[in-house]
Amino acid sequence: MNAPVSIKQLAEPPPECVPRKCPACGDDTPARKGIGRDPWHMAQCGACKFLYLDALPVQEAFEGEFAWDATFVAEKKRRRQAQPIVQWLDEKTRWRLHVFPRPETRYFLERLARPGPVLDVGCGDGGHAMRLPEGYRPFGVEIAPRLAAKADAAFRTRGGQCLQGDAARAISRFEDRLFRGVMMNSYLEHEFWPLQVLKALRPKLMPGAPLIIKVPNAGSLNAKVMGGNWCGVRLPDHVNYFTWKSLSAMAEDAGYKVRAPFGVNLPTNDNMWAILTVDSSPPERS
The residues of the shown chain that bind Zn ion, judged by CB under 5 A, are 22, 24-25, 27, 45, 47-48, 50
Q: Which amino acid is at 211?
A: L
| Closer residue to Zn ion in complex, CB, 45/123 | 45
- State the minimum distance, in angstroms, from the CB of residue 132 to Zn ion: 35
- State the minimum distance, in angstroms, from the CB of residue 281 to Zn ion: 24
| Closer residue to Zn ion in complex, CB, 156/245 | 245
List of E strands, the chain: 17-19, 30-37, 40-45, 51-53, 55-57, 117-121, 137-142, 162-164, 181-185, 211-216, 240-241, 256-259, 271-278
- State the minimum distance, in angstroms, from the CB of residue 245 to Zn ion: 13
| Closer residue to Zn ion in complex, CB, 18/89 | 18
The answer to whether 33 touches 44, Cβ cutoff 8 Å, is: yes
What does the alpha-carbon distance between residue 219 and residue 96 come to, in Å, rounded to a whole number?
A: 17
In the chain, the N- to C-terminal Cα span, in Å, equals 37
| Closer residue to Zn ion in complex, CB, 22/109 | 22
**Which has the closest alpha carbon to 70: 6, 131, 133?**
6
**Which has the closest alpha carbon to 286: 200, 220, 160?**
200
What does the alpha-carbon distance between residue 222 and residue 86 come to, in Å, rounded to a whole number?
A: 12
- State the minimum distance, in angstroms, from the CB of residue 23 to Zn ion: 8
Other CB atoms within a 10 A radius of the CB of residue 235 amount to 19
| Closer residue to Zn ion in complex, CB, 48/73 | 48
- State the minimum distance, in angstroms, from the CB of residue 22 to Zn ion: 3
